């Protein structure tokens, strides 16, 4: 995927590095996902007039917030717009890098530790997230307007929720992988990401390892899929047996979120 195509997906909110649409992907029955209905993001704030106008123009009716309560307390989500979306608090702890970094208590992690920990969390998400995913899909099916999935940085918990939505719409795995990996491109400026989300050198130690915090790897989504395979065999059976998505439900989703 070229840099120009990457840029086309990202929406230029002033205080957000990873807000983007998920439109234009090939889906089931020869359709394509809708760029005006499917969004994913990190936590964001609307502080400038242009940001308010841009957000309102998206017609987002549902926000699915996968952060933990302590994350919401630190950075509340309150889009003060005329048509305020419904905000669904669907916490998942796996992928919460804030708690991991706090637990280091000034120590530098061992080489490879962050990637190992993240891979483990992705493997845990299908089990931990069942209730959250059920709620997300229920509201997507029942609502009109756009849906937005978020977490703190919009790459891990958000990445898997977005991947499930795309999979339910019939988007091929390789395209879902490409969408997932765009977060690595979004946070290619690690210094900027640190200032934006953590403050400069928040742990008081050499933070050269922070590039591992603000990136993603194919192994992560592979770990998620591996656990889904252990639980249900296929994504179709996972949707049916664990998330309650019938063929009729998925057809409704495709009618709303593809064209």
What is residue 140's predicted lDDT score, i.e. its pLDDT?
97
- Give the whole-angstrom CA distance, residue 101 versus residue 93: 14
| Close Cβ partners of 194 (under 8 Å, ≥ 6 residues apart) | 200, 201, 202, 207, 210, 214
What is residue 199's predicted lDDT score, i.e. its pLDDT?
59
Average pLDDT over every residue of 199-217: 70
What domains does the chain contain, in order, with CATH numbers? 3-246 (3.90.190.10)
149-180 pLDDT tens trace: 999 999 999 999 999 999 999 999 999 999 99
Instruction: Assign 3 a pLDDT band (cuts: 50, 70, 90).
Output: very low
Selected residue with higher pLDDT from 97 and 128: 128
4-22 pLDDT tens trace: 356 689 998 987 899 999 9
pLDDT beyond 80 at 213 = yes
- Give the whole-angstrom CA distance, residue 213 versus residue 53: 32
Summary mean pLDDT of the chain: 90
- Give the whole-angstrom CA distance, residue 239 versus residue 126: 11
Average pLDDT over every residue of 44-53: 90
Contact 164, 232 (CB under 8 A): no
The whole-model pTM stands at: 0.93
For 105: left if phi > 0, alpha if psi spans -120 to 50, otherwise beta; the answer is: left
Kindly state the percentage of the chain with pLDDT values over 90. 71
């Amino acid at each position: 995927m070229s840099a120009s195509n990457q840029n086309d997906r990202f929406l230029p909110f002033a205080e957000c590095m990873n807000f983007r649409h998920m439109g234009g992907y090939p889906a089931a029955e020869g359709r394509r996902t809708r760029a005006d209905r499917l969004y994913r993001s990190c936590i964001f704030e609307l502080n400038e007039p242009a940001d308010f106008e841009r957000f309102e123009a998206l017609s987002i009716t549902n926000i699915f917030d996968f952060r933990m309560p302590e994350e919401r307390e630190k950075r509340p989500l309150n889009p003060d717009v005329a048509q305020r979306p419904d905000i669904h608090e669907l916490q998942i702890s796996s992928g919460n890098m804030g708690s991991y970094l706090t637990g280091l208590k000034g120590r530098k992690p061992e080489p490879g530790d962050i990637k190992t920990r993240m891979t483990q969390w992705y493997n845990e998400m299908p089990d931990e997230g069942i209730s959250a995913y059920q709620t997300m899909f229920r509201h997507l099916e029942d609502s009109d307007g756009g849906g937005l999935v978020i977490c703190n940085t919009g790459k891990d918990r958000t990445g898997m929720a977005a991947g499930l939505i795309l999979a339910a719409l019939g988007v091929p795995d390789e395209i879902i992988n490409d969408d997932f990996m765009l977060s690595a491109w979004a946070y290619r400026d690690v210094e900027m990401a640190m200032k934006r989300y953590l403050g400069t050198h928040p742990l008081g130690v050499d933070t050269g390892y922070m590039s591992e915090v603000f990136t993603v790897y194919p192994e992560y989504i592979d770990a998620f899929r591996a656990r889904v395979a252990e639980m249900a065999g296929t994504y179709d059976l996972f949707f049916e047996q664990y998330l309650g998505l019938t063929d009729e439900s998925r057809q409704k989703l495709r009618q709303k979120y593809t064209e």
